[in-house]
Structure 1
Amino acid sequence: MKRLSSYFIAVTAIALLFSLTPSSADSHEKFVQCLYNYPHNTTSISNVVYTQTNSSYSSVLDVSIQNLRFFNATSKPLVVVTPLTVSHIQATIICSQRHGLQIRTRSGGHDYEGLSYVAGVPFVVVDLIKLRGIVVDVENSTAWVEAGATIGELYYRISQKSEILGFPAGVCPPVGVGGHFSGGGYGFLMRKFGLAADNVIDAHIVDVNGNLLDKETMGEDLFWAIRGGGGASFGVIVAWKIKLVPVPSTVTVFRVPRTLEENATEIIHKWQRVANKLNESLTIRINMGRVNSSQNGNLTVQAQFESLYLGRVDDLIPLMQNSFPELGLVREDCTEMSWIESILYMAGFTNGESTDVLLNRTQLNGLSFFKAKSDYVKDPIPDVGLQGLWPFLYEDEAEDAFVQFTPYGGRMNEISESETPFPHRSGNIFHIQYGVSWQEKGDVAAQRHVNWIRRVYNYTEAYVSKSPRSAYLNYRDLDIGVNNNGYTSFSQARIWGTKYFNNNFNRLARVKTKVDPRNFFRNEQSIPPLISKGRK
């Protein structure tokens, strides 16, 4: 990352050049003028600054919006900055503080609650879409990835260099690595290699003072915090250095659907007891939703068992027959392919499609209105619990809804809860994601669908983790608690913070107090300092 290294300068003198006292009377015009006057810009910033009067403003803002719930939000940024260099980020941070504006950082736009581009206060979006360089070092099995790259772009670049190296991250290719890695990041390699965050070995971040820091200069605490605690609370992450992992030249995938009429409930019950104990090279997740029955055409619930096995089908079949015969897997259900082809398969691309599709930053199936929630499960949900879930999926609002079970175990059991801020390790047998999407416009439709997923979430409370009822940061959910726009106490933030981070929330707040005591980097679910004066 030579381009990044050239900007690795500490600009502590900036505080002498700019007053950091905000003035609500300052206009965004003065903010923009501040950017243009910033003394350290080595590349002109004027071409990457978009105010609301700029003809390209809407297209630049809208291009990375992934959830139609926030497409026409009234709280739009005063300015969008698409930095080409670290100095552009430094200027935006310093000038935002001087002129009383908040910053929202966007890498892919997949924040489930739109926090990377929506705010209820005057704000600026730093969109990292133009900082997406990727340098793969095959000899050392590492890569530097700029935060504006997507995981699809990362997978593609790795595959261009090696057929036997991969990386354990998510299934959705357009997701930006900036937020994905900083919140944890899991996929079908999790049981073998852990999370994306577990495989980060260095990072570059611009802090509240405009300093560009790496692992050594940011210190152990901040490096710990940004690998699972979310980066937006602590600064603007510019790039990650990651450890690539070995994958076999041939892997095996399958999708096996089972409806209620085909004993899906009983098969899911057995899956809960074995999925986290299977060979760590085998991951089987379940996607549940409603379909039309092939037997009578009526609605039914289908559980689709999706799997990646890091090996050949000849080894997979006897393993399944021994550990999970209830699924009835046969050789004809399976397909052997390369690891990069399995990325396309799991993302829903058609067989034989070029890997070039991974470079597409837009959603495969287009945009929709969307709401999601998450849970962790420590004990198998009994059959009666599953049977009580199925009626929700027959309701009108569930036409495009799903419930997804993803198994834990393997490597996840070997990493301590405090190793990174991501605490959901041993003790969890699987993770749940609930999702509902819809195309109908209007507040009435939105409320119906959001109410539906909240009722499902209330129903499953008896069967999931407790004290706290845990949640996954990357499946952002403002229902579990929010900060104030101004002063937010540590005790108030704990309401949602312990759900994402368990006991690690305390350490995150201590790190925040150290690196951003005035709480400049904040949003509805940002880590607060232990004692914050806040800003109103």
Structure 2
Amino acid sequence: MVVATPITHLVLTACFFLACFNLPLPSLASSSSDFLRCLSTNVPSELLLTPGSPSFKPLLVSSIRNAKFVAPATARPPLCILTPTKASHIQAAVRCGRRHGVRLRVRSGGHDNEGLSYLSQRPEVFAVVDLAKLHTVRVDPREATAWVGSGTTLGELYYAVGKAAPGLAFPAGVCPTVGVGGLFTGGGQGLLMRKYGLSADNILDATIVDADGNLLQGKKAMGDDLFWAIRGGGGGSFGIVLSWKVRLVPVPPRVTFFNVTKTMEQGAVDAVTKWQTVAPALPDDLTVRVVVQQRQANFQSLYLGNCSGVVATLRDRFPELGVKYGDCREMSWLQYTAYLYFGDASNKIPLEVLLLNRTMTIGPFVKNKSDYVNKALTNNTWHNIFTWPLGGAAHGELILEPHGGRMAKIADAETPFPHRSGVLYNIQYVQFWNGTTAAGTNSIIMPNWINTMYDYMAPFVTKNPRAAYSNYRDLDFGVNKVVGGVSTYDSGKVWGERYFGANFRRLAMTKRKVDPADYFRNEQIVPPLL
């Protein structure tokens, strides 16, 4: 067995709370001090930071990827941040939290679109469990598997696999600073999913701390329902996953990348219209996604083969794109994972710097939404999208990820992620702006491009419910209502059926089995079906 470089990190993970049912809660001050006292007796002091520590704010902000959450997070900080290095530290946090009425929010990195892994929208006492130090990756090339800590970043995972087993890869997303703990629990889309499925489809085992603070080592200890639920059922609903065993997949020594840009004058609208039906039907070895921004379309590819193969295929299936040999770059899969995100920089900077760097400069304010499309939009509709009155995507971008291939062959109920057969592609809407907050409040002032675009798209995307990707969490869909200390199923299914479809009911039944008191709870977390 090869042990690869330890790694760390982040992504969209969820949050955790405690429900005390009919038991009276202790006072705020006493519960806070008692929780800290309880935790400090079970965890080394250097792993536990409180707001009085000079290192507290830098650590809190270090994994905030969306600038609009910096002010709210620092204005209403957690009681403490725990950076566990082993299971017993997390077990102690759960047991102390339940005993003393302190909620837990858990992050494996910070790419949570609504910041719920480190920020509460409600007035409550909570602590953050930051999994960044649980970042070891152990690769077994012979078995084509790896054990991955939940704090590992995608860049670290890719680097470890690429160095230890050059003929193997793992299907996941584009951004190297996303943490696997959040990504896996939401599904894990990426450019290998048409060939090998989601990240969650390639999870073989896991270890988890449950709502009672017990360590469940392996799927046999978890049971079928819990193991099913954590592979795409949303971060943080069922426990705190410490590590994952994943299946690695074969890739050739060289893969091919191209990035072809078309303006409207060069036929971008016609090309995207054609892409909708071509991309999901291409050979599984070839994925072509589209980024629409500033009235132009960027077509980006991953082909598990050489340049001549991709040029020949697209010349036959998608001649409107006009891909030529000069548009292609051949490289190893590991080089590709850096090149797709960093561009030409990956040729000049060592991969270690690019993929093992957990830090990320806080950029603009960001808002994300998502849709799934099962019937191609007309050319006229795409023309309206490219020329949208509030800027024609100048204020944001649309990222179109094709499905088909392996995605269409997996049953909707195989994992909690239901967006399978019949889906042509996923849309991610992203708006960036240099944000401000309303005077004297924490309310975010947001330009309206993303909301008007999302409203315009309603007739053209999935319906009843209008589906969305859980890793693009969106509080606009609604939040849980709490009655008697427990999140209600009826309030949860308003947003939950968008993410999980008919699978939401099974998720809620599993929640009832493993966490009936709703200890692990936040604004959008699977409630127990009582």
1:446 deviates by 7.9
User: 2:373 matched to which residue of 1?
Assistant: 377
Q: Deviations over 1:39-68 (max 9, x none)?
A: xxxxx4221111111221111111111111
Pair 1:413-2:408 in alignment: yes
- Cα distance in 1 for partners of 2:378, 2:62 equals 44
Letter aligned with residue 392 of structure 1: W
- 1:48 aligns with 47
* Distance (whole Å) between structure 1 residues aligned to residue 127 and residue 108 of structure 2: 14
Contact 2:206 2:243 survives alignment (8 Å): yes
> Which residue number in structure 2 is paired with residue 31 of structure 1?
35
Aligned twin of 2:264: 260
1:142 aligns with 2:139: no
**What TM-score do you get using the length of structure 1 for normalisation?**
0.90
1:289-347 residue CA offsets vs partner (Å, 9 max, x unmatched): 11xxxxxxxxxx11000001000111111111111111011111111111011101111
Which residue identity is paired with 2:308?
Answer: D
Instruction: Report how far residue 362 of structure 1 moved.
Output: 2.5
Report the counterpart of residue 332 of structure 1 in structure 2.
326
User: Where do residues 206-225 of structure 1 align in structure 2 (5 Å cutoff)?
Assistant: 206-213=209-216, 214-225=218-229
CA offset digits 1:199-242 (Å, max 9, x no partner)? 00000100011111121100110000000002300111100000
Distance 1:449 1:289, change over 3 A: farther
2:19 is matched with which residue? none
| Partner of residue 289 from structure 1, selected from 277, 281, 293 | 293
Farther off after superposition, 387-396 or 433-442: 387-396
Contact 1:23 1:98 in 2 (8 A): no
Alignment partner, residue 443 of structure 1 = 438
Distance 1:456 1:392, change over 3 A: same
| Change in 2 beyond 3 A, CA 1:135/1:105 | same
CA shift, 1:463, in A, is 0.4
Return the alpha-carbon distance in structure 1 between the equivalents of residues 27 and 233 of structure 2.
Answer: 30
* Alpha-carbon distance in structure 2 between the residues aligned to 1:275 and 1:454: 27
Matched residue type, 1:369: F
Distance of 1:421 and 1:156 partners within structure 2:
28
Q: 1:208–1:515: 8 Å Cα contact kept in structure 2?
A: yes
CA distance in 2, matches of 1:24, 1:495: 33
Equivalent runs, 1:122-521 vs 2, <5 Å: 122-213=125-216, 214-290=218-294, 301-349=295-343, 350-352=345-347, 353-356=349-352, 357-363=354-360, 366-392=362-388, 395=391, 399-443=394-438, 449-484=446-481, 486-521=485-520
Give the counterpart letter for 1:287 in structure 2: V
Once residues 192 and 21 of structure 1 are traced to their aligned partners in structure 2, the CA distance between those partners, rounded to angstroms, is 53
**CA distance in 1 between partners of 2:249 and 2:25 (Å):** 46
- The answer on whether the counterparts of 1:201 and 1:243 sit within 8 Å (CA) in structure 2 is yes
Contact 1:269 1:381 in 2 (8 A): yes
Q: Is the 8 A contact 1:222 1:511 kept in 2?
A: yes
User: 1:450: Cα distance to partner?
Assistant: 5.0
RMSD of equivalent CA atoms: 2.0
* Paired position in structure 2 for 1:15: none
Local SS of the residue matching 2:281: coil
* Counterpart in the other structure of 1:70: 69
Q: Relative to 1, partners in 2 of residues 1:394 and 1:479: Cα closer, same or farther, differing over 3 Å?
A: closer
Matched to 1:341, the amino acid is Q
SS in 1 for 2:449: helix
Deviation per residue, 1:157-209 (Å, 9 max, x gap): 01111211000001000000000011001111010000000000000100011
Given that 1:415 and 1:425 are in contact with CA atoms closer than 8 Å, whether structure 2 keeps it comes out as: yes
CA distance in 1, matches of 2:416, 2:2: 30
Distance in 1 separating the partners of 2:521 and 2:405: 35
Q: Which amino acid is 2:191 matched to?
A: F
Letter paired with 1:344: A
| Cα offset, 1:393, TM superposition | 7.1
Q: CA deviation at 1:399?
A: 3.9
Whole-angstrom distance in 2 between the partners of 1:394 and 1:159? 43
CA distance change for structure 1 residues 96 and 376 in 2, over 3 Å: closer, same or farther? same
C-alpha distance in 2 between matches for 1:429 and 1:348: 27
Contact 2:280 2:424 in 1 (8 A): yes
1:124 deviation in Å?
0.6
- Residue 425 of structure 1 aligns to a residue whose secondary structure is coil
Q: Which whole-Å CA distance do the structure 2 matches of 1:319 and 1:452 have between them?
A: 37
- Name the structure 2 match of 1:534: none
Which stretch shifts more, 379-388 or 368-377?
379-388
TM-superposed CA distance for 1:135, in Å, is: 0.5
Please name the residue that 1:9 is paired with: none
SS in 2 for 1:288: strand
Tell me, yes or no, if structure 1 residue 112 matches structure 2 residue 109.
Answer: no
Q: Percent identity?
A: 46
Distance in 1 (CA, whole Å) between partners of 2:145 and 2:61 is 33
- Preserved contact between residue 256 and residue 302 of structure 2 (Cα < 8 Å): yes
Q: CA deviation at 1:400?
A: 4.5
Q: Which residue of 2 aligns with 1:98?
A: 99
Mean Cα deviation higher: 341-350 or 23-32: 23-32
> 2:15: which partner in 1?
none
* In structure 1, C-alpha distance between the alignment counterparts of 2:364 and 2:450, rounded to whole Å: 16
Secondary structure of the equivalent of 1:175?
coil
Where do 5+ consecutive residues of structure 1 fail to align? 4-19, 39-43, 291-300, 532-536
DSSP 3-state at the match of 1:157: helix
Shift of 1:481: 1.3
Q: How many residues align?
A: 499
Letter in 1 for 2:103: Q
Q: Which has the higher contact order (CA 8 A, sep 6+)?
A: 2
* Matched residue type, 2:104: I
Matched letter for residue 371 of structure 1: K
